[in-house]
Amino acid sequence: MKLMNDLILRAAKGEQIERYPVWLMRQAGRILPEYRAVRATLSGFKELVETPERAAEVTIQPVDILGVDAAIIFSDILVVPEAMGLEYQMIEQKGPWFEKTIRTESDLYLADSHIDVYDRLGYVLEAIKITNKELNGRVPLIGFAGAPWTILCYMVEGKGSKTFSESRKMLYTNPTLAHELLRRITDVTIQYLKAQIEAGAHMVQLFDSWAGILGKEQYAEFGLKYISKIADAITEVPLTVFSKGALTSIEVIAKTNCATIGLDWNMDVVEVRKAIGETRTIQGNLDPCALYSSEKEVERQTINMLDKFTSKRHIVNLGHGVYPDIDPEKVKTFIKTVKNYELRNL
């Protein structure tokens, strides 16, 4: 199906663009009353993730309501550890929780890499197909997965954590087990992303939410080594790597075969561009809290960010997922400001 708006794909590849493309992490979610209405008819977050028709419905909402340049499939990074053998629950107000965790070699049966992703994760692939059918080429659809290090964090810790010290402990006490686990997650992630692309994802993103809790050397060994393998394997569509908090590794990330690097709101666009040159597209990175400001101030902050761009290789986004209590009107102001911004002769 021909895309009517392929701006984000061209920006990712470094091709010519008329204006910067824009979307928001977590754009399909609690920020929209229309999402909350769908969610209220279901038993919980997981039912929504696992029901392709409804997942497709909330995936498309921000395209209709906010006017973003891309949809991102409504799902969760934790579907992968679940498919491998670790069932999770999403507890209201608390976040994810796993009954079982991986601490020793004898737990490895809970991290099976010989799975059929078409069977175990068929509901995500089905949601991608329905979404594309209903989008009818209006905008590209982004697929995603958690990066191996972040998935290991949840498999070992079993829940969210400020320090993920159980997960980091394994890197010292049993690096062999950590590498085995990361290898398995990487294998499944490659299969899963390829299946998403086959189902219709036009680009894919790796979320490494806990990259920032590792120092540069450990992140190279336990994080980027596996991201790099995924980047080498995903040749069909552009790949975005979003390693939150990993500023000191940004030049190493730029050496992987990714098309786009996501920046969090603390990273300086000008400095990152200086460090990585024109070889990669940058995605981000307005502070999500800027959207709490008045409309005038949202506009000012957005233009302030855009004025820092010295290249066409940019996809506009926030530096983190949009916070659920942001007024959707402010998101519209953000998007409108990006769309009206005149591209200088770069």
The answer to whether the beta carbons of residues 6 and 140 sit under 8 Å apart is yes
Query: Which residues 44-73 are close enough to bind its own copies by CB under 8 A?
Result: none
156 binds its own copies (CB under 8 A): no
Nearest of 199, 206, 191 to residue 116 by alpha carbon = 191
Alpha-carbon gap, residue 170 to 80, rounded angstroms? 20
Q: Which is nearer to its own copies, 137 or 324 (CB)?
A: 324
Taking the complex as a whole, the smallest distance from the CB of residue 88 to its own copies amounts, in Å, to 18
The answer to whether the beta carbons of residues 15 and 243 sit under 8 Å apart is no
The enclosing H or E element of 242 equals: strand 239-243
213 binds its own copies (CB under 8 A): yes
Stretch in the footprint of its own copies (CB under 8 A) among 33-41, 133-141, 200-208, 261-269 = 261-269
Taking the complex as a whole, the smallest distance from the CB of residue 194 to its own copies amounts, in Å, to 32
Q: Which is nearer to its own copies, 117 or 247 (CB)?
A: 247
Alpha-carbon gap, residue 176 to 174, rounded angstroms? 5
DSSP codes, 178-199? HHHHHHHHHHHHHHHHHHHHHH
Residue corresponding to tokens 């392709």: 52
Q: Which is nearer to its own copies, 114 or 162 (CB)?
A: 162
The enclosing H or E element of 253 equals: helix 250-253
Q: Which is nearer to its own copies, 248 or 279 (CB)?
A: 248
215 binds its own copies (CB under 8 A): yes
92 binds its own copies (CB under 8 A): no
Which of 2, 114, 162, 296 touches its own copies by CB under 8 A?
162
Alpha-carbon gap, residue 183 to 324, rounded angstroms? 34
Alpha-carbon gap, residue 95 to 196, rounded angstroms? 25
Which of 121, 320, 337, 338 touches its own copies by CB under 8 A?
320
289 binds its own copies (CB under 8 A): yes
Catalytic positions are 26, 30, 39, 76, 154
Output the six-digit token pair for 5.
């708006």
Q: Which is nearer to its own copies, 279 or 294 (CB)?
A: 294
Radius of gyration in angstroms for the set of CA atoms belonging to the chain, rounded to a whole number: 19
Binding interface with its own copies (CB under 8 A): 160, 162-163, 165, 168-169, 171-173, 212-216, 218, 245, 247-248, 265-268, 287-290, 292-294, 297, 301, 320, 323
